[in-house]
Amino acid sequence: MKLFNGNDIRSNRIYKNVAFSFLLKAIATIILFVMVPLTLVCLGNYQNGVWLTISSLLVWIDQMDIGLGNGLRNKLSISMAHQHTEEARKMISSCMAMLTCIIVPLAILLLILIQVTDVYALFNVDPERIPALRNALQAAVIFVCMTFNFKIIGNVYMGMQIPAVSNLIIVTGQGLSLIATWILLKMGQATFLNVVIANTAVPLLIYIIAYPITFYKVFPALRPSLSLINLRSALSLGSLGVRFFWLQIAGVIQMMTANILISNLFSPEIVTPYQIATRYFSIVLAAFTVICMPFWNATTDAFERNDIPWIRMVDKRMSLVVMILGLCIVLMVAISPLIYNLWIGNKCEVPFGITLMVAFYTFIIIASSRYSYFLNGIGALRLQMYMTVTVIAFIPLAWLASRMTHDINYFLAVMCLCIAPSWIVNRIQFYKILNGKATGIWKK
């Protein structure tokens, strides 16, 4: 059954993207589930926890585009809705130029910091257990920074309302990283350094291959050019992008610093069961993302054309989706002991409390994001920015709860508490805008 009944081009495009993306996410889920026990075998519980902590730091680099990627996808959708192809090409060229200016000095700074900082104290790591930690960090930073610019390719596909292709690029990189890790294990070369390189260098290779395919074969009219770099286009992306950047950083503060905080407040070994539970529920989160991602730029297109009836139709379908996924989460909690046993055996024990709290957290994200995808699509970001105050409070509150209780479940409860207000506010703003009643702070 189709998620929506419309026969218009926008709805049909979304349906095709959702169908193909579901297939890709199914493959990505299999890769994810295989990668967890594989890396545990390669690295063991302790080193795997350290790698997961490092990988969350690498996400910070990915977010340093000051929101330019998301700004580009919105502006690109608007330009193509009005058939302004040359303006779209200028924006892509200008965006790539700005990204280069951001990442080069950032990479240099990070490499210097890694060299002069006591990284073992930073990550609470025993030097004897991971002697190559500094080299692994340097390699990871180099490859991730090189990937930084090329990720604009995914934003272009999303702006053109075909996010399935962006998912294909990501899944291909994940799949080849899995194969590379497996080869290292079979060759007896699955050291900490080699596993880090396999998981950061391979995605870069895929983006390098995707670049000429995208801009010389699929969208030659959008090919970046040095002669088209325009400061005005860059600034138009920057004004919207800074808002996206603030939202991205706020999300990273809570979601991605959790590993670092758990490692320091508890132990690197506790990171592994937390991440196993997170990856378990990422299945339902991935399904939600597959359904919702195409709506971001389709909403931009619909709102630009004042097609409110289409948005109302989608709203009803999304309510049904959230309810179904909520029931799936309840079922996943109930059968989690069996799944963990089949998945990782006795390699790691995941306490039920961690599973339950991660389940709550996942549902809140889904319930809130179901509205924020629409708000992001029309650029209604101001109120979302204000709500990040609750997310910024996460670090001190999590530290206080951990010191007082020494229980990770309270740490995870703070995570849920800090994002719940955004869910409520997003819902109110969505319906105010949809019904034409948004005034003052509730406007775009």
Q: Which residue has the higher pLDDT, 192 or 300?
A: 192
Tokens 């395919």 -> residue: 213
The end-to-end CA distance of the chain, in Å, is 34
Q: Which residues contact 45 (CB under 8 A, 6 or more apart)?
A: 269, 272, 347, 348
What pLDDT was estimated at residue 225?
85
Q: Is residue 396's pLDDT more than 80?
A: yes
**344 falls in which pLDDT band (50, 70, 90)?**
confident
- Which pLDDT value is given to residue 179? 95
Q: Which regions of 240-286 does DSSP assign to beta strands (E)?
A: none
Phi, psi of 340 (to 5 degrees): -60, -40
Note the pLDDT of residue 193. Answer: 92
56-75 average pLDDT score = 69
CA neighbours closer than 13 Å in the CB half-sphere of residue 223: 11
Least confident of 81-95, 213-227, 344-358, 380-394: 380-394
Q: How confident is the model at residue 4, as a pLDDT?
A: 47
Answer for the pair 222, 91: CB distance below 8 angstroms, yes or no. no
pTM over 0.75: no
**Between vectors from CA 136 to CA 131 and to CA 142, what angle results, nearest 5°?**
155
Pick the more confident residue, 29 or 199: 199
Contact between residue 32 and residue 282 where contact means Cβ atoms under 8 Å apart: yes
pLDDT of res. 242: 55
**E strand or H helix that includes residue 125:** none
Kindly tell me if the per-residue pLDDT of 81 is higher than 50: yes
| Per-residue pLDDT at 394 exceeds 70 | yes
Task: Determine contact, residues 135/111, Cβ cutoff 8 Å.
Answer: no
Residue 121: which pLDDT band, with cuts at 50, 70 and 90? confident
**What does the CA dihedral 133, 139, 140, 141 come to, rounded to 10 degrees?**
110
Pull the structure tokens for residue 11: 């709805």
* pLDDT confidence band for 183 (50 / 70 / 90): very high
60 or 115: which carries more pLDDT confidence?
A: 115
188-192, 253-257, 301-305, 430-434: which range is least confident on average?
Answer: 253-257
The Cβ of residue 210 has, within 10 Å, a number of other Cβ atoms equal to 21
So what's the pLDDT on residue 151?
A: 84
Q: Find the range with the poorest average confidence among 129-138, 160-169, 372-381.
A: 372-381
Query: Mean pLDDT over residues 199-226, rounded?
Result: 91
- Lowest-confidence range among 106-110, 160-164, 294-298, 379-383? 294-298
**Nearest 5°: phi and psi at 124?**
60, 50
Compute the distance between CA of residue 155 and CA of residue 99 in angstroms, rounded to an integer: 13
Confidence of residue 165 (pLDDT cuts 50, 70, 90): confident
Spatial CA neighbour of 50 closest among 109, 108, 134 = 134
The candidate with the shortest Cα–Cα distance to 251, out of 159, 365, 156, 402, is 365
pLDDT at 290: 75
